[in-house]
Amino acid sequence: MSTTDSGRRDFLRATAGTMLASALPAWASAASIDASESPLARVRGGQLRGYRERGVAVFKGIPYGADTTHQRFLPPRIELPWQGVRDALAYGPASPQPKADEASSEDCLRLNVWTPGLRDGRKRPILFYIHGGAYNNGSGSSPLYDGTNLCRRGDVVVVTVNHRLNAFGYLYLAPFGAPDLADAGNVGQLDLVQALQWVHAHAAEFGGDAGNVTVFGQSGGGAKIATLMAMPAARGLFHRAWTMSGQQVTACGPRAAAQRAAMVLDALKLTPAQVDRVRTLPAADLIAAAQVRDPSRAEDTALYLGPVLDSRSLPRHPFWPDAPAQSAGIPLVIGNTHDETRAFLGHDAKNFALTWEELPARLEKQQYVDLSPQVVIAEYRRLYPQYTPSDVFFAATTAGRSWRGAVEELEARARQPSPTWAYQLDWASPLQPQLGAYHTLDIPLVFDNIDRAEARTGQGEEAKAMAARMSEALLAFARHGDPNHAGLPRWERYDLARRQTLLFDRTPSLADDPRGGERRFYAQVPFIQRGTF
């Protein structure tokens, strides 16, 4: 998003000194905040200069931790203070990653804040977004994550975040190295914990409520949230959670994580005894070494690196054998899209013209569950006799991937029991109807950002209505811990008797156990989260 000169000329209206002093944390003071042509904020590192966008104060690229370049694989440290006023006008670098489409650096512990008001005592709900890209790539800088529209629609504070990814955030070196590497397999998660601590400390400065933080995230972001729900260090740092097409039922086991780390060392031509050399290798070498083929996958996919069951920062699997007790009181929304895999597999024209003869081999390569393709195809032809081979391909790969994880988490929460709502996005973008309700389509709807070119939703009346329904649900959830609002039918909590699911479509409806036939079919095999073994 570009800024405008007129936006930057908006004046920060200084709050009366006595009121400001009461809103500031202990390390700040009213005297340190000066009114100027741009909004100013005081954080623990020093003063920040942001800009205004349609009445919303925006601060980008704020450090919430120190440069990790010389602290590679170690838990995050507090950012160094700066002198004077630091510009917070542009996004910070993303974590090093394969094929980055933006600047990247190990100095990546940055976050971005959108707020309707500074230091005004309003105690707005805080919406903390965690980006997708599995644990491998992405950042909080996408135009789709811009928080301006949510702030204007719901009078909330929006935060997005960058943190360490792939080998920099999740390479499990504990079995090979010095004692200070004991947390290496989860430092990417610990970055998120530190970012949430920063938000808690600065809530009043940005007009937010430290006691009302909603974490929300899509794909890998949802998986990171599920993992945070089982991390003791994250206890009390967020109060509601909303996940979109992202689940983490089990983490990577320590043996499997050590095996993958050994493969990275081998690709670097290093022995376990030489592990300390990994701390100072060029970042590009480390990224390249992690591109070896993952041993647990049927498809040709690079090494899985994600949260590790290390008995330290992650002492249990996120949602197995049950839902984490520490998060039982946190309201949770779990959502998926009806046609997830059309986002990954729908750009190959061959997948839209499959024959029944071609389908088994194509399905065997792309489905995650270990079932005979012929058995899967026979069941889908029974459940949906109108489906073409391509319809079966997309439906079966969707049901066998993240949707299985959503069912596992929903069932675990229902058994707990805990306040949980399920949704399924059925609406297809009129710009790409062949892709159906594909993976990521709910992002611009929840953020109310259909005006962005990257949204691929169009700006027709249907898209506007869908964005209003979904963003208002998120805002109601953030404000009240319940996603119901006047634009939806009554959205009931999920239970095992009915499996209530809100279907977001042209006409939203509540359905009991949608796709129940598929759910029962896949229940015959255990769900194994990718990367667990």
Least confident of 6-20, 288-302, 461-475, 476-490: 6-20
| Catalytically annotated residue among 163, 338, 439, 485 | 439
| Catalytically annotated residue among 79, 340, 379, 472 | 340
* Predicted pLDDT at 14: 31
* Predicted pLDDT at 530: 81
Name which of 193, 202, 226 is nearest 332 in CA terms: 226
Tokens coding 453: 């070119």
Average pLDDT of the segment spanning 43-48? 98
Q: Is 79 in the active site?
A: no
Convert the pLDDT of each residue in 19-28 to its tens digit. 333 333 443 4
b/e sequence 389-419, b meaning 16+ C-beta within 10 Å: bbbbbbbbbbbbbbbbbbbbbbbbbbebebb
In a domain, 306, yes or no: no
Torsions phi, psi for 161 (to 5 deg): -145, 145
Name which of 533, 487, 474 is nearest 125 in CA terms: 474
In a domain, 370, yes or no: yes
In a domain, 383, yes or no: yes
Query: Counting Cβ atoms within 10 Å, is residue 74 exposed (0-12), middle (13-18) or buried (19+)?
Result: middle
Where residue 123 falls among pLDDT bands split at 50, 70, 90? very high
Name which of 340, 395, 391, 396 is nearest 367 in CA terms: 396
Q: Is 311 in the active site?
A: no
Domain coverage including residue 364: 344-400
Convert the pLDDT of each residue in 210-228 to its tens digit. 999 999 999 999 999 999 9
Convert the pLDDT of each residue in 102-118 to its tens digit. 999 999 999 999 999 99
Where residue 177 falls among pLDDT bands split at 50, 70, 90? confident
In a domain, 356, yes or no: yes
Average pLDDT of the segment spanning 333-350? 96
Mean pLDDT of the chain: 92
Q: At a CB cut-off of 8 Å and minimum separation 6, what does 493 contact? A: 419, 420, 421, 500
Total number of domains constituting the chain: 1
Beta strands in 164-295 (DSSP E): 208-218, 240-244
In a domain, 201, yes or no: no
Interatomic CA distance for residues 114 and 445, integer angstroms: 18
Does residue 268 have a pLDDT over 90?
A: yes
In a domain, 217, yes or no: no
Q: Is 338 in the active site?
A: no
Does residue 11 have a pLDDT over 60?
A: no
Convert the pLDDT of each residue in 397-454 to its tens digit. 999 887 999 999 999 999 999 999 999 999 999 999 999 999 999 999 999 999 998 9
Where residue 13 falls among pLDDT bands split at 50, 70, 90? very low
Does residue 482 have a pLDDT over 80?
A: yes
CB 230 within 8 A of CB 253: no
Where residue 260 falls among pLDDT bands split at 50, 70, 90? very high
- SS3 labels along 410-443: HHHHHHCCCCEEEEEECCCCCCCHHHCCCCCCHH
| Catalytically annotated residue among 219, 245, 418, 471 | 219
In a domain, 240, yes or no: no
Does residue 140 have a pLDDT over 60?
A: yes
In a domain, 74, yes or no: no
Interatomic CA distance for residues 260 and 290, integer angstroms: 9
Average pLDDT of the segment spanning 313-332? 98
Q: Which helix (H) or strand (E) holds 375?
A: helix 373-383
Does residue 371 have a pLDDT over 90?
A: yes
Tokens coding 233: 């260090």
